[in-house]
């Protein structure tokens, strides 16, 4: 039995929000900038399903991660398939890479994709149960320059969106050759502190001690300040790789801080991990983007060994930060130069067709079809600063004509429908545009 609010009116489920018109301009700006830069950097746009087999995420993200253990929305279909609403985008990108034969094409393969993801967690500012991510994934290249390029791309998007006070937190967690010794040292450090750990970290201590460094619980976060750090346990290959990444960032002039305790909350990460944060005047930070290498994920999901690097932007978090920093969004809405006025049901029918003909011919036309009074419609046209009014009444509908009125002079002329487009174009070239008195069609 489904649960619904006690009140009579339906509400959006907890942690799932409407994106209303006043905020849409930020979303539009985000998608325009991110897609343009992604294509410039050589990324191909893809889309993956919102629903995937649950095992894809269990195998890819790690059984003991918070997402898999506590946050994933799952369902069983009538046919017996066990599916999940995707809790992140990377695993789906890897599945698409393998299933569609991209592994057999010249490498690297670069994907850009975005959309909603779902995690059942306590909603808070910038963190919802349905939220949106934009993801950048590169397959088939292990060179450190790809790490730097992904970071550069995401950082550039945030700058293009008008955000300031950004910095990059970066670390290397090494690979399977480095982990045994580092994990052993972590266990030695935490062994006497297990009673002080939160419930989840007590499990992590046994299963994956690296993830204790990602815990946000106050006591656990305090303990990690003196914990061993991963950079000290890198082998030569991982050390040289990370050194090159930092040198590339230096060459680009990107602001970064080496954070030796930065790890990611998913098990598939290797070597480079990063976050891009915004720092406010109070000194607190908001993570807007994150990512890193996942060189083992493709093989974990059934492919051959394939190096990979990626990063994602939390779209809601970015938009909240744009609003906090009062980023100005300029909307290029066409100026109303022609206003379509109608009177009577027959005229309304004809007006719909004429309205669409103007659109096909690239002429922006405004209207107020819900109003019946010609006087009221002309008043709206005047407030919008329209230069021409096209008036269609009962007589004009029957005659196949329209009255073309110049708003400023009041001069008007009856024009046959077949000549209206050409005549409007001719008049618009002769008349200087007027300034509008309001920005929408509402009185």
Residues in a beta bridge with 275: 169, 290
CB 259 within 8 A of CB 170: yes
Query: φ, ψ for residue 327 (rounded to 5)?
Result: -70, 130
Q: Compute the distance between CA of residue 15 and CA of residue 129 in angstroms, rounded to an integer.
A: 5
- Residue 119 assigned ligand-binding role: yes
Length of the chain as a residue count: 443
Query: φ, ψ for residue 414 (rounded to 5)?
Result: -85, 130
- What distance lies between CA 189 and its chain's CA centroid? 39
- Residue 268 assigned ligand-binding role: yes
CA torsion through residues 183, 186, 190, 192, sign: positive
Tell me whether residue 64 is exposed, middle or buried, using C-beta atoms within 10 angstroms of its C-beta: 0 to 12, 13 to 18, 19 or more.
middle
In terms of Cα–Cα distance, which of 269, 274, 263 is closest to 295? Answer: 269
In terms of Cα–Cα distance, which of 125, 147, 82 is closest to 324? Answer: 125
Residues in a beta bridge with 111: 44, 137
- Residue 233 assigned ligand-binding role: no
In terms of DSSP H, where are the helices of 41-89? 54-61, 66
- Residue 269 assigned ligand-binding role: yes
In terms of Cα–Cα distance, which of 371, 372, 364, 386 is closest to 437? Answer: 386
283 Cβ contact partners less than 8 Å away, ≥ 6 residues apart: none
- What distance lies between CA 31 and its chain's CA centroid? 7
User: E strands of 31-108, at which residues?
Assistant: 44-45, 51-53, 74-76, 82-85
Q: What is the CA radius of gyration of the chain?
A: 29
- Residue 89 assigned ligand-binding role: yes
CB 146 within 8 A of CB 329: no
- Residue 66 assigned ligand-binding role: no
- What distance lies between CA 124 and its chain's CA centroid? 18
User: In the chain, how many H helices and how many E strands?
Assistant: 15, 16
- Residue 275 assigned ligand-binding role: no
Q: Compute the distance between CA of residue 439 and CA of residue 435 in angstroms, rounded to an integer.
A: 11
How many degrees, rounded to 5, is the angle at CA 80 between CA 79 and CA 85?
100
- Residue 88 assigned ligand-binding role: yes
In terms of Cα–Cα distance, which of 392, 377, 388 is closest to 345? Answer: 392
Which residues fall in the annotated binding site for L-histidine? 88-90, 119, 133, 137, 264, 268-269
Which residues fall in the annotated binding site? 88-90, 119, 133, 137, 264, 268-269
């Amino acid at each position: 039995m489904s649960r619904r609010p006690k009140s009579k009116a339906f509400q959006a489920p907890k942690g799932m929000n409407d994106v209303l018109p006043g905020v849409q301009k930020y979303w539009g700006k985000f998608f325009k900038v991110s897609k343009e830069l992604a294509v410039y950097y050589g990324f191909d746009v893809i889309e993956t399903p919102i629903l995937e087999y649950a095992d894809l995420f269990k195998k890819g993200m790690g059984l003991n991660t918070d997402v898999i253990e506590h946050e994933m929305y799952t369902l069983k279909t009538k046919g017996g398939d066990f599916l999940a609403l995707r809790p992140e985008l990377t695993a789906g990108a890897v599945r698409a890479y393998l299933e569609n034969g991209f592994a057999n094409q010249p490498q690297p393969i670069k994907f850009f994709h975005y959309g909603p993801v779902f995690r059942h967690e306590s909603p808070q500012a910038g963190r919802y149960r349905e939220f949106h991510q934009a993801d950048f994934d590169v397959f088939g290249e292990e060179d450190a320059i790809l790490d730097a390029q992904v970071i550069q791309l995401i950082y550039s998007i945030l700058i293009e969106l008008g955000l300031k006070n950004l910095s990059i937190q970066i670390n290397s967690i090494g690979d399977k050759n480095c982990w045994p010794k580092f994990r052993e040292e972590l266990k030695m450090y935490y062994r006497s502190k297990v009673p002080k750990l939160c419930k989840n970290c007590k499990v992590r201590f046994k299963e994956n001690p690296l993830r204790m460094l990602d815990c946000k619980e106050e006591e656990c976060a305090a303990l990690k300040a003196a914990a061993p750090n991963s950079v000290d346990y890198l082998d030569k290959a991982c050390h040289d790789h990370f050194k090159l990444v930092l040198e590339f960032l230096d060459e680009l002039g990107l602001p970064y801080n080496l954070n030796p305790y930065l790890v990611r909350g998913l098990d598939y990460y290797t070597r480079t991990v990063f976050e891009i944060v915004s720092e406010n005047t109070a000194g607190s930070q908001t993570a807007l983007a994150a990512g890193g290498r996942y060189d083992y994920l493709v093989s974990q999901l059934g492919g051959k060994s394939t190096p990979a690097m990626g990063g994602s932007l939390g779209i809601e978090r970015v938009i909240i930060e744009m609003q906090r920093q009062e980023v100005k969004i300029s909307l290029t809405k066409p100026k109303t130069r022609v206003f379509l006025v109608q009177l009577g049901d027959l005229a309304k029918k004809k007006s719909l067709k004429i309205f669409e003909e103007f659109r096909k011919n690239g002429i922006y036309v405004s209207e107020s079809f819900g109003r019946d009074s010609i006087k009221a419609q002309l008043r709206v046209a005047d407030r919008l600063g329209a230069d021409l009014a096209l008036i269609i009444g009962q007589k004009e509908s029957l005659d196949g004509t329209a009255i073309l009125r110049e708003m400023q002079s009041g001069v008007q002329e009856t024009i046959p429908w077949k000549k209206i487009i050409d005549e409007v174009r001719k008049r618009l070239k002769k008349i200087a545009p007027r300034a509008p008195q309001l920005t929408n069609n509402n009185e």
